[in-house]
Structure 1
Amino acid sequence: MDVIERLSTIEDLRRLMARYVYNADLQRWEDLASLFTADGTFTPHNVDGSVAARMEGRSQIAESIPANVGPEAVVVHHLFSDEIDVESETSARGVWAMEDLIERPASTGPDGRPRFTSMHGFGHYRPRFAKVDGVWKIAELVLTRVRMDLEY
């Protein structure tokens, strides 16, 4: 892979992650899930490093995220500095610094406990990408957290 192809791939991957946060902010969950490979995974972590959830496959991603966010939420994501390593013509990895904000009405979860009304989080998206039928997709997305401010 020459320099121009590598730079073009890096730009394609930046645009893919931009589409991911755009669809999240507009709560277009099916469109967001379509950015993953058919067997893609999304694993957000808590600040202490524990796994908050693990979603496998597009349908589980499209169903689980809105169930956790809530239908009346306002969602905002920001992506910052990135590092992208193109491993081959069909695989790459990256790290993006991120910030997200969720505002939602007071409610209780399935366990009857109050759910947060405001969450301001900071961390990193760590995607693994695969090129499938000529199109870059997210094969694995891990969200690690360095801070989360919650209000109830």
Structure 2
Amino acid sequence: MPTLLVNGLNLDVLAEDDMPLLWVLRDMLNLTGTKYGCGIAACGACTVLIDGQPVRSCSYPLSAVGEGKIVTIEGLSPDASHAVQRAWAELDVPQCGYCQSGQILAAVALLNETPEPTDADIDAAMTNICRCGTYPAIRAAIHRAAELAKG
């Protein structure tokens, strides 16, 4: 029985090695903030962080996680105080909101690697799809989160 480190907790899961991480998180661990979008790792709605890197969990098999530290939207901060979450709320980024947990986690990974990203950095890193077209708001929120993170 694999043990996963999810949001700081060691959790045992009884699942097949080839089960996508998305289904382990949603169906077995009841972490439903991670969304199913396309099932082929194209849209990014299912993005989580593993060891700080964005991973599209719909096509990422459980066996590939190993001892990686998984962070879902539920584990980013207990009170939505993370700079990216604060910026998202301040700028009222979501419209329908479906893709936003994946967008937020992709933005967190970007800012961890590039604390003061340019528009080009953001455009290159943020490959998640938003059907509502909130890309300008997402870009503005990433810049705002960078400011908030500096203090």
- Normalization by structure 2: what TM-score? 0.26
Q: Which structure has more helix as a fraction of its residues?
A: 2
Max radius of gyration: which structure?
Answer: 1
Q: Which structure has more strand as a fraction of its residues?
A: 1
- Normalization by structure 1: what TM-score? 0.25
